[in-house]
Amino acid sequence: IKDIEVLNCEYGKNTIKFLRLHREGKKHFVKEVEVCAHLRLTSPQEYLEGNNSLVIPTDTIKNIVLVLAKKNGISSLEQFAIDICNHFMTTFCQVAYVKTYIQEVPWQRLHEDGVPHIHSFICVPDGIRFCEAEQCRNGPLVVFAGIKDLKLMKTTQSGFEGFYKNEHTTLPERHDRILCGELFCKWSYGECKDFDFDCIWKKIRECILEAFAGPPDCGEYSPSYQKTVNCIQMLVLSRVSQVQVIEVVLNNTFYNVVDMKNLGLNNDKEVLVPVEAPYGSCACTLGRKKFFEAQGHMLRDERKYLEFLTCLERFLCATQADSNSPLCQDDLNTSITLSSANNQGDWLSFKSSHHPFCSKPDAGENRDTSQKRRKHMNLHISQSTLEYLQHTAFSITPRNMQKQPKPFLSVL
Of residues 289 and 25, more confidence is placed in 25
Residue ending a domain, among 263, 291, 319, is 291
Residue partners of 47: CB distance under 8 A and separation at least 6:
6, 9
Inter-residue contact 359 to 401 (CB < 8 Å): no
**Residue 256 is assigned to a structural domain of this protein:** yes
Q: Is 168 part of any domain?
A: no
pLDDT (tens digit, 9 = 90+) per residue, 221-242?
999 999 999 999 999 999 999 9
Q: Is residue 83 part of a domain?
A: yes
Question: Mean per-residue pLDDT for 351-365?
Answer: 38
In a domain, 58, yes or no: yes
Residue pair 300/314 in contact (Cβ under 8 Å)? The answer is: no
| The total number of residues written for the chain in this structure | 412
pLDDT at 77 over 90: yes
pLDDT of the residue at 125: 85
CA–CA separation, 61 and 63 (whole Å): 5
Q: What is the pLDDT of residue 139?
A: 81
Q: Say yes or no: 134 and 149 in one domain.
A: no
Domain assignment present for 235: yes
- State the average pLDDT over residues 116-144: 92
At 3 the pLDDT is 84
Does 387 score more than 80 pLDDT? no
Q: Are residues 132 and 150 in the same domain?
A: no
Q: Do 20 and 114 belong to one domain?
A: yes
Predicted confidence (pLDDT) per residue in 399-409, tens digit? 332 333 333 33
Query: Residue 277: which CATH number?
Result: 3.10.270.10
pTM of the prediction?
Answer: 0.70
319 and 210 within one domain: no
Q: Which domain holds residue 372?
A: 302-411
Shared-domain flag, residues 104 and 149: no
Do 125 and 29 share a structural domain? yes
Per-residue model confidence (pLDDT) at position 90: 95
pLDDT bracket for residue 276 (50, 70, 90): confident
pLDDT attached to residue 292: 54
Q: Which of 139, 154, 187 is the last residue of a domain?
A: 139
**What average pLDDT does this structure show over 1-22?**
91
Domain assignment present for residue 132? The answer is: yes
Residue 296 lies in a domain: no
Residue 297: inside a domain: no
Check whether residue 112 and residue 190 sit in a common domain: no
Residue range 127-155: average pLDDT? 93
